[in-house]
Amino acid sequence: MLVREQRHRPLSWQERGQSLGRRWMLPLAAIEWSFEWVAYWLSRWAFLEVLEYLGALSVLFGVLFYLGEAGDRRQQKHYQAWQVINTAQGKGGSGGRIEALQELNADRVPLVGVDVSGAFLQGIRLRQARLARADLEAVDARDSDFQHSDLAYADLRSGNFRNGDLSHTNLAYANLEGADLVGAVLAAADLSGSSLKNADLRNCDLAGIKWQRITSIESANIFGVRNAPAGFVAWGRLHGAVSSPGADN
């Protein structure tokens, strides 16, 4: 917004001419003198001041209108993210799903029951995500971050979660059969009612897991598990778990 000030009445041309030391400056002085009079008369024109205030108000209304539509823009953004996820359903590759899922989760949108089976989600960051009953079968989610997420009743069969962080996750009644959890962190995870049949748990961090109600650990590889709770390894071997370094170790 312009800062307007009341201008003093300019000198007459006769007075201005007398103040000039050199005649060659007369044309320049005449131009300057003309502009001084124009500026003087405009400074006294209230209409211009009203226009300035209206301009400021239009900016204010524009800001308020933009803020008022924030909810609609967020809803549109969520709709587009879900469209990306649903369009790529059942297909391999990422298809933009990593960004879409992370965007929705960042806005605390529940991802309950989402189907991303077979997707390439390597390195995805979904902390505190609500993924109960989600279909993550055969996903490639190596180096991913699911800390403090709810994966209760989720399908993680044959998923690749190598070196992923699933600490403090709720995996109650989740299906982890055949999942690759080599080097993953499951510290403080709730595995109550889950199935780990044929899962690869080599070098997995199991500090503080809730394991007493695991339904199956048959043929799971528990070689080199770290920080396992007291009694877990013995219980696992008793119920069919194996301990083998594996060909890629």
Q: Tell me whether residue 82 is in a domain.
A: no
- Give the integer Cα–Cα distance in Å for 166 and 186: 5
- Give the integer Cα–Cα distance in Å for 30 and 27: 5
Q: For residue 191, which amino acid is it?
A: L
Both 232 and 117 in a single domain? Answer: yes
Alpha-carbon radius of gyration of the chain = 35
Q: Which of the residue ranges 21-30, 51-60, 135-144, 185-194 would you say has the lowest mean pLDDT?
A: 21-30
Question: Is the predicted pLDDT of residue 50 greater than 70, yes or no?
Answer: no
* Range 137-167 burial, b when 16+ CB lie within 10 A, else e: bbbbbbbbbbbbbbbbbbbbbbbbbbebbbb
Q: Tell me whether residue 110 is in a domain.
A: yes
* Range 203-227 burial, b when 16+ CB lie within 10 A, else e: bbbbeebbbeebebbbebbbbbbee
Both 54 and 94 in a single domain? Answer: no
Contact residues for 15 (Cβ-Cβ < 8 A; gap 6+): none
- Give the integer Cα–Cα distance in Å for 133 and 65: 39
Model pLDDT for residues 94-148, shown as the tens digit of each residue: 889 999 999 999 999 999 999 999 999 999 999 999 999 999 999 999 999 999 9
Model pLDDT for residues 170-222, shown as the tens digit of each residue: 999 999 999 999 999 999 999 999 999 999 999 999 999 999 999 999 999 99
User: Which among 221, 177, 179 has a CA at the least distance from the CA of 203?
Assistant: 221
At 175 the three-state DSSP class reads strand
Q: Tell me whether residue 41 is in a domain.
A: yes
- Give the integer Cα–Cα distance in Å for 204 and 249: 13
Q: Tell me whether residue 42 is in a domain.
A: yes
- Give the integer Cα–Cα distance in Å for 89 and 115: 7
Q: What angle do CA 5, 8, 12 make, to 5 degrees?
A: 145
User: How many structural domains does the chain have?
Assistant: 2
Confidence of residue 1 (pLDDT cuts 50, 70, 90): very low
| Higher-scoring residue by pLDDT: 65, 80 | 80
pTM confidence score: 0.72
Both 105 and 221 in a single domain? Answer: yes
Distance of CA 103 to the CA centre of its chain: 4
In this prediction, residue 129 carries a pLDDT of: 98
Instruction: Of 50-59, 69-78, 81-90, 140-149, give the range with the top mean pLDDT.
Output: 140-149
Mean predicted lDDT score pLDDT of the chain: 86
Confidence of residue 27 (pLDDT cuts 50, 70, 90): low
Both 30 and 98 in a single domain? Answer: no
CA distances from 51 to 37, 57, 60, 61, 62 (A): 21, 10, 14, 15, 16
Q: Tell me whether residue 6 is in a domain.
A: no
Confidence of residue 92 (pLDDT cuts 50, 70, 90): confident
Q: What is the token pair recorded at 2?
A: 């312009």
Could you list the residue range(s) of the whole structural domain that residue 221 is in? 90-249
Both 130 and 245 in a single domain? Answer: yes
